[in-house]
Amino acid sequence: MDLTYTEEEEAFRAGLREWLVVSLPKLPSRPDPLDWSARRAYDTAWQRMLYDAGYAGLHWPEAAGGRGATPTQHLIYLEETEKAGAPYVGANFVGLLHAGPTIAAEGTPEQRARWLPPVLRGDEIWCQGFSEPDAGSDLASLRTKAVRDGDDYVVTGSKIWTSHAEVADWCELLVRTEPMGEAVPKHRGITWLAMPMDAPGVTVRPLRTLAGSAEFAEVFLDEVRVPVANRVGAENDGWRVTMVTLSFERGTAFVGEVVACRRTLAELAAAAKENGSWDDSGIRRQLGLLNAEFTALWRLTQWNVSESQRVGGVPGVGGSVFKLRYSHARQELYDTAARVLGPDSLDLDREWTLDRLSSLSYTIAAGTSQIQRNIVAERILGLPKGR
């Protein structure tokens, strides 16, 4: 196997580096992380710069408005933008990494033409309306209902942990179009809708996290009318469409963060040498283990991205292996950061302190570790389902 880069790939890297050197100084100062309106403006401005330069949706298929780049070019892009300190997707997260790829894979030509270009340009922000107060890990138990009324669905219910709802234009929304019962398994009767967030009957109530930010919200839906034309996939086929969304969320959505964690690890080792904690053999051993861990995760990322490209762009269950291990490795990284920082790890003005607080959610977000273990056991190892 030839693992060297081709001349074309190296030319792509060189062109990207040159563009980043010229473009990044044009960005305004990063906004207050607690000001999501300002963060939306900052993130969408960066997305527009990527779009104008031809880097938006780099790995999306050309039919979806992307550039159809190879997996290697996609990974080069992630490496170079992270090394340069470029912004990540931020408020564009759901649109670029969840809803957009799902619509590209499952939407009609009309739906792709309507929703994908605004996502790539940074004109519209999406949020994710999946989880409910009584349907988090057991997502199939959701109860938000949608009743067909002519050309509309009338939606009533509530969602929780809705990412970026307070600044979103659209919501990828899961609803129940057929009630659960003995004759209807809970995985059936679910439908995937694109709901405009400015529709009458939508109420958003931000939720403040442990770190003090409010990137999540409760969303209450009181007889909200959503056009049937906004349905992605067939009625009652939403669970299958949702599995496509979740495969993107677990398989490729975190790849940029692996690069970021590797950079943090290098900074952490430098800090340990500077403050003397490097003399602690236990800390040195943990840093070495984390270096091996994130190197292996990056190799798994490369495999997952390449495999998704090979099978048509939709990641497989290997994403659950990645998500399971990455969640815990990220927590271990910031626990180690706390050991290196000592008492300074309680300083909330330090970036690593806030990152440590946010890392606590990773074993829950995008499917809990328990759910990922079940997926690995049943779909990869072929173990029987528990009763």
Q: How many CB atoms lie within 10 A of CB 264?
A: 20
Q: Which residues neighbour 50 within 8 Å (Cβ) at sequence distance 6 or greater?
A: 56
The span from the CA of 237 to the CA of 374, in Å, is 22
Per the residue annotation, which of 79, 82, 249, 257 is the catalytic one?
Answer: 249
| Helix pair angle (281-310, 318-341), 10° resolution | 160
Annotated catalytic, 9? no
Rounded CA separation 207/324 (Å)? 25
What are the residues facing 170 on neighbouring strands?
126, 196
Give the separation between CA 14 and CA 1, rounded to whole angstroms. Answer: 24
Is residue 309 within 8 Å of 73, Cβ to Cβ?
A: no
Three-state DSSP class for residue 304:
helix
Q: Tell me if 164 sits within 8 A of 119, measured CB to CB.
A: no
Give residues with Cβ within 8 angstroms of 205, minimum separation 6: 217, 218, 219, 220
Residue 333 DSSP symbol: H
Catalytic residues: 249
